[in-house]
Amino acid sequence: MPVLVSDSSTDSISLLYFDISLNKATSMAAHRTFKPRSKPRISASPVFILIAGVTSLFLLCSLSSIIGFSLSPYKASEIMARYSRPKRQHSLHDKYLYWGNRIDCPGKHCDSCEGLGHQESSLRCALEEAMFLNRTFVMPSRMCINPLHNKKGILHQSSNDTSEEGWAASSCGMDSLYDIDMISDTVPVLLDNTKMWYRVLLTAMKLGSRGIVHVSGISRNDLIEHDKYSNHLLINRTASPLSWFMECKDRNNRSAIMLPYKFLPSMAAKPLSDAARKIKAFLGDYDAIHVRRGDKIKTRKDKSGVARSLHPHLDRDTRPEFILRKIEEWVPQGRTVFIASNERTPGFFSPMSVRYKLAYSSNYSRILDPVIQNNYQLFMIERLIMMGAKTFIKTFKEDDTDLALCDDPKKNTKVWQIPVYTMDEEVAS
pLDDT of residue 379: 95
C-alpha 289/C-alpha 403 separation (Å) is 10
pLDDT of residue 73: 39
Closest CA to 194 of 183, 207, 208, 180: 180
C-alpha 82/C-alpha 269 separation (Å) is 11
pLDDT of residue 102: 87
pLDDT of residue 341: 94
pLDDT of residue 251: 57
Residue pair 100/11 in contact by the 8 Å Cβ criterion: yes
pLDDT of residue 371: 95
pTM of the model: 0.76
C-alpha 49/C-alpha 54 separation (Å) is 9
pLDDT of residue 350: 97
Considering Cα of 219, then 263, then 318, then 360, what sign does the dihedral take? negative
C-alpha 239/C-alpha 219 separation (Å) is 11
pLDDT of residue 411: 78
Contacts of 177 (CB under 8 A, 6+ apart): 143, 268, 269, 272, 376, 377, 380
- Which value, to the nearest 10 degrees, does the dihedral of the CA atoms of residues 122, 109, 190, 269 take? -70
Residue pair 405/326 in contact by the 8 Å Cβ criterion: yes
First to last CA, the chain: 61
pLDDT of residue 406: 96
Q: Are strands 286-291 and 392-396 parallel, antiparallel or unpaired?
A: parallel
Amino acid letter, residue 345:
T
Which residues pair with residue 392 across a beta bridge?
Answer: 288
pLDDT of residue 72: 35
Q: What is the pLDDT along the chain (429 residues), one digit of tens a residue?
A: 443 433 433 344 433 322 333 233 334 334 444 344 444 444 445 544 545 554 554 444 444 443 343 333 344 444 445 545 566 677 777 899 999 988 887 776 677 788 899 899 999 999 999 999 999 999 999 999 887 777 765 565 544 444 445 576 788 999 999 999 999 999 999 999 999 999 999 999 999 888 999 998 888 888 888 888 989 999 999 778 778 888 876 656 666 678 988 999 999 999 999 999 999 999 999 999 999 998 788 888 989 999 999 999 999 999 999 999 999 999 999 999 999 999 989 999 999 999 999 999 999 999 999 999 999 999 999 999 999 999 999 999 988 899 999 999 887 678 899 999 987 554 444
DSSP three-state, residue 155:
coil
C-alpha 126/C-alpha 9 separation (Å) is 20
Residue 98: phi and psi, rounded to 5, are: -120, 135
